[in-house]
Amino acid sequence: MKARMTEKSATDRLQKVGLEVTEHRLQVLMAVGNTPHPSSAPEVLGLIRAKKDINRVTVYRILDLLVEHEVLNRLGLGEKSQRFCLRGAREDEHPHFHCTCCDRYLCLNVPALPFDHKALADLSLDIRHVDIRLEGLCPACQKIKK
């Protein structure tokens, strides 16, 4: 999430998960990859439409596809508050901050919080993804509340 997503890195990322590289998929991946905070589907659509014509359904479908292939994280519950950000490798997942006041999300650029997988060994769960969300007020909302 730090590095800029170029056409080349977006291409690599799609190929790595076995997806065919198409112009639209590259556009969606670059739009998400180059936004520093998790973006909503309408935001992604707006970013791409600023440059090219793209169908809304196409964008939504590609976002779903990229989540399915573990290229993107999907945050938030409910259709309206869904946000998307670039997913790291399994050992490199990042936590998120959610502002309960303005509903904004932030990607936290810290290593995943310490999580003791061994302590859960008894449950024999096959854990695929760690999704850690911190909730509270962002700086702007703290000011309003004062």
Residues of this chain that interact with Zn ion (CB under 5 A) are 85, 99, 101-102, 107, 138, 141
Question: Please, what is the minimum distance in Å from the beta carbon of residue 100 to Zn ion?
Answer: 8
Q: Which is nearer to Zn ion, 22 or 100 (CB)?
A: 100
| Ranges assigned E (strand) in 22-111 | 72-75, 83-86, 96-99, 105-107
Q: What angle do CA 54, 77, 115 make, to 5 degrees?
A: 115
Question: Please, what is the minimum distance in Å from the beta carbon of residue 126 to Zn ion?
Answer: 23
Q: State the Cα–Cα distance between residues 20 and 3, nearest whole angstrom.
A: 23
Q: State the Cα–Cα distance between residues 82 and 53, nearest whole angstrom.
A: 23
* Phi/psi of residue 74, nearest 5 degrees: -110, 120
Q: Which is nearer to Zn ion, 25 or 74 (CB)?
A: 74
Q: Which is nearer to Zn ion, 23 or 92 (CB)?
A: 92
Question: Please, what is the minimum distance in Å from the beta carbon of residue 55 to Zn ion?
Answer: 26
Question: Please, what is the minimum distance in Å from the beta carbon of residue 108 to Zn ion?
Answer: 8
Q: Which is nearer to Zn ion, 59 or 86 (CB)?
A: 86
Element (H, E) at 61: helix 56-68
Q: Which is nearer to Zn ion, 19 or 101 (CB)?
A: 101
Question: Please, what is the minimum distance in Å from the beta carbon of residue 87 to Zn ion?
Answer: 8
- Classify 46 as helix, strand or coil: helix
